[in-house]
Structure formats: C-alpha cells, structure tokens
Structure 1
Amino acid sequence: MNRLAFLGRGGVMLTAACAFSGCIARAEYDRVEFARRVAAEQAAQREAELGAERSQRQVVEAERNALRRELDTKTALAENLRQENDRLAATLKQLGRFTDEVLAKGLAEPELIEITKLPPELDRMLKEFASHYPNAVEYLPEQGAVRWKSDLTFALGSDVVRDTATSSLREFAEIVNTAGAAFEVVIVGHTDNVPIRASSREHKTNWHLSSHRAIAVMFALNNFGVPYDRMGVMGYGEHRPREPNPPSGGNEKNRRVEIFLVSARDSFSGTR
C-alpha cells in the first residue's frame, strides 16, 4: 500500500514537472520570437534610413556636379572674354598706329576721275548682294561702290564692326575675290557733324572715327580673305555729307562707309 502511494505521488510530481517544463519552453519561444520581430523591425528601419541617406547623397552629388559644370562653363566663358578683350585691345592699338601713320603723311586732295563701269557679271552680283541686305546696304553702280549705313555697321561712336554686319561683309568679300578679282578695294569712312565726346580716348575727332571705321572694315574683309595689298582706306570725317546736317547736328545718312571697286591705275573721291 505504501509502495502504491509512493508511486502515485511520483507520477503526479513527474506530470507536474513536465507541464512546468512545457510552460518554460513556450515562454522562452515567445520571448525569442518577440526579440526576433523587434530586431527585424529595427533592421528594416535602419535599411530605410540608409536608403534615404543614399538618396540624399545622390541629390547632393548631382547638385555638386551641376555646380562644377556651371563653374567650368563660366570659367571657359571668362577665358573667352579675356581672349576677346586682348584681341580687341591689340586691334585698337594697331588701328591707332595705322591712323597716326596716315595722319602724319597728311591728307591729300584726291583726284576726281570718272569711275569705269563695272563688268556685267560683277554688276549683277553686286545688285543681287544689295538685295539681300536692303536695310543696311546700297549698291551705287554709277560709282562702282557699295554703301553701308554706319548705324547698322557700328554702334554710335564706335569703330567695332557689329556682329550683324559680318554676314554682309563676308558675302561682299566673296564677290571681291571672284567676279571682282581684277579690282582694288578702297574703303571710305564718313560721319555726321556731331562732335566726338571729350572723354573718348580712341577717337579724338570725326576724322579719326571715320578713318578708324574704314580700317575696321578693311580688317574684317581681310579676315574673309581679301588681301591687304588690294585695299586702301580713307576718312573724310563730317566733311563730305550726303545731305545737310540739321542745326542741332546729326544726320544718319551722313554716317556711312563706302567701298569702291576701282582698277589699279585709278584713284577716286567719295560720293555725295
């Protein structure tokens, strides 16, 4: 009897121990599973934060590359402007020396002659050329000349050829070097009677301005292939007006550059 009671109590205790062990294993499982979920959520959060940081870094890198490209562009532009400024300064210096040489030799009164009529093919090409630029260019077949309006060729008081005039000068140079190859080119500058500002260092008088503009056109034509030994320049200032200047001064028709095609044995005078 005691043996049976002992065995019964032992079975109860074993059953209780097994039940208790099962509870401990389940609690441990729940604890580990909770820790795993927390770790997974934290890992996902870290991954999201890393993704956002990568995106922000890409945005910053793109902005930095854009700024670097902008800096490179502006640096190149500044260098181009510096080179252009140096070129213009050299051209101005060359113009000054050339003008001083011309003025030192004196301005002789030109011989008046009858201009020889241009050949038919050259005449036709110049008429067609003038029709391409009706607001800027006028062809004068009786004088064998082409006239450019200074206001469209230069800024007021300037001897720098406008970019808008280069296409017409380039086309004219092509004609001079083909149908007009047997002729010399004489470029004559004219101004109105508005005095040069006292602050102008480049052009002391209208004589200087008209001569400098003629020289600038000569340089432009040379850039387009017309040899220097086929060209000459003159400047009349305000002293050969096409029309009277008003009392207040200034008449745009008197501000002009004329280019004459003449044979090598001829000289000429400006048109009126």
Structure 2
Amino acid sequence: MKRGKILFGLFVCLLVVSRAYGQVNLKAMTLPEGKKIETSFNKTNRAPDRASMLARLNYEKGVASVELSFEHLEPAILFAGDISTYVLWAVGPDGTVDNLGEIIVDKRDCSGSQKFYVNRKILALMVTAEPYSSVRRPTDLVLFVNAESGEKGVQIAPFTYNDFSTRARPALDSISSIQYISDVPVALKQAEKTLDFAAKVGADQVNPKAINQANEALAKARNQKDKKMAADGARIATQFAAQAINETIKMEEEKAAAEAEAKRQAEKAALEQRASQAEGEAQQLARQLEEIKAERAALAKETEQLAAQTRQLAAERDQLAGERETIQKERDELAGKLKSALSTVAETTDTARGLMVNLAGVLFDVNKATLKPESQLKLAKLAGILMVFPDIKLSIEGHTDATGSEELNLKLSTDRARTVYEFLMSQGVPTDRMKYQGFGSSRPVAPNDNEINRAKNRRVEVVVLKEPEN
C-alpha cells in the first residue's frame, strides 16, 4: 500500500513536470481505410475524478469521423481564470493541429456524445481546456489523450507535442474534485469569460462592433427567464466575442509575420549587395591579372573565394525557392480546412468556380423569404467560419422549382438570396465580399417531376469564389 502511494506521487510529479516544460506525450494512430476502430483515453490529474472518454473512429475517402462519448464531465469554467470551454484536437506527428470543435459540457456531471470530422489519416486525439472554442493553438491544460488502441491493423507511433499557446491561463490547475453547483446557465458564464478574455487581448480596439454585439447579446440573455433561450443568446454573444478575439490574434500574427518578412528582405538585400560587391571585385581582379602577372597565384586564390561566395548565394536562392513551395503547401492546407469547416454547416462540394455550400430546403418556409429561426443558427455558424477567412469572396444564389410563374420564381429566389446576404452582413461579413442574385427555376439540379426533386431545386447556394466575378 505504501509503495502504491509513492508510485502515485511520482506519477503526479511527472505530470507537473510535463506541464512546466509545456509538452505532452501522444500516440498517433494510423487509421485503416473503411474500418471502424475504438480507443479509450488516458486522463491527467487536471480532469474530474469520475470523468471518462471513449472515441470511435472511421476513416473513409480521406476523412476521419470521430464519435466522442464522455461521462461525468464538469464545465471547464471551473478552472476559472481565462478558461471557459473544452476543445477536441487532432494532432499530427509533425506537430500540426486541427481544432475539431467544442465539447459541449453545459451542466454538472455531464455525459453525452458528439461527432467530429477531420482530413487526417494519421492522428492523435487530445482534449484541452480553452478560453473560447475557435482557438487555433491549444493551451497546455490537457485533460485527456487517446490511449494505445488494441485494434488490429492500427499502427501506433508515439511522439511529443509542445507547441502550446500561453495566452490564456487558469486560476486552478485541476478540477479533479470540484463540481459545478451554480444555478446560472453555463453558457452565460462562458460568454462572460470570453468577453473578459477579449478585453484582456484588446479585441475591443480591433473589432469594437463585434464586442458591442457580444455585450448586447449577453445583456439580452441575462434578461431571459427561459434558460434555454438564455443559453442560446449567450452562445451568440460568445461567437461575436470569439470573432473579435480571432481577428485580434490574427492581426498580431500578421504583424509578427510582416516584421519577420522585413527582416528577411533586409538580409536578402544585404546578400545582394555583397554579391554585387563581389562581382565588382572580380572585375577588378581580372584587370589586375592583366596588369600584374606576378600576382597571378594570389589572384587565383581570391577568384576561388569569389566562386565559393557565388555557390553560397546559389544555395540561398534554392532555399528561398523551398520557402515558396512551403507557403503554397500551407495555402493548399488552408483551402482544405475551409472546406472541412463549411461541411459542418451544409453539404459542400468543389466546383470550377470554387467551394459551393448547398443550403437546400433548410432556410425558408414554402413561398416565403423569411429565415426560419433554426436556420439563423446555421447561418451564424457559416458567418463565423467566413470571418476566419477574411479574403474570400462570396456569391449568394437563390433557386426555385418550376411550380410558379417565371416572374414569381425570379422574385422569390432573389428575395431569398438577399435575405441570406443581409443576415450574413448582420453577422459581420463585409458587403464588399458578397454579392447576391436570383435565378428562379432556370438552373435546376434535378428534373421537376416529383416532390423530392423539386425540393432539391428549392435552394440557396453560397459559392466561395476562386476568382472574382463581375
């Protein structure tokens, strides 16, 4: 018994040391094609004592689905400080991470399941406590990591991850023995925490509009007597605040990148100046060679030195070419992440014009152009995704079936496209990034010969354009 206590104490010390050095040991799984596998999770001493997790994974056609089940979790706001929620991460052995989404824990002793998707075949799973759900880098508040799967055909590769963010800090290092006992809905406290963190990073200076919208939404939520409506309003406030935070962090990262680029350009200019100087010296040496035959040996040695400098410059040029290739690869990865994010809103396909999000039959009542209440949450999520990718241009296009007159269908499709346009604009998507148009029944995707096909033709498509269109 005494030996067991000593071993447990050593285990806790190892966890503390791991956190102090900002690293965690993970096990990457290579998922077999088309085979469902199951893995449990190892828990750190930060997680609630009774909490547990299980994941069922299935990899098909380049996409891994992760069905996460959990039991006896407590809300992340118990960490206090800057922390408000949990996030599930997919981590690659190369250190890249994908935020798969928020694990919603909105009550004491919470159990449930959620499904996530990621374009990875080789991955480890990790659950962390975060200041808001759409963070791009995890904190080192790791609660769960996947265990080594015992399934046949699953290759395991241990690795260490240490690229944690230090922006957000908790007041408590562990909630192992704490329960949420407040009557205040968790979503309200999460919204308050997110707004506090937004103030901490100065997001009100970058996007005051989103912060004002967040405060207004939070005020309305606090005045709601219905707890569900209060929670829904608080989540909208959290979205606005997270949008402003992401823009602030993105601006800081862009500033740092610009400074790094300026330094690189300065170094490049210095190299070019040295190359030009070397060329001048070579010409001078050639003239001296003709004038002073006696110094031929010395001049030959200097010429060799100049040749070495030329080879060094060529190597540096090759390095710059490699950096350009890396940048292109990052752009391609970003496009993949955009499609993955849009697919969580609605069916998304690649077209010659760009990614097309098909919002068929989910937004409006028959012959109406007013958004259904449940559709506003779907479009708000779409707007949140679009705000993370500020450079893309959108074409919002309305379509109908052929049951009405051509004039009526054209007007209805245009009104619906404009309604989506105005809603996205209200969510913070700039109007100079969007255009809308109605096509009536002129562009069906199926014959208008039965109700199922007509339902397919009644749709609004949001096209993420590859190239600007007139």
What is the TM-score with the length of structure 2 in the denominator? 0.27
* Structure of higher CA gyration radius: 1
Q: Which structure dedicates a bigger proportion of its chain to strand?
A: 2
What is the TM-score with the length of structure 1 in the denominator? 0.46
Q: Which structure dedicates a bigger proportion of its chain to helix?
A: 1
With a CA cutoff of 8 Å and minimum separation of 6, indicate the structure with the bigger relative contact order. Answer: 1
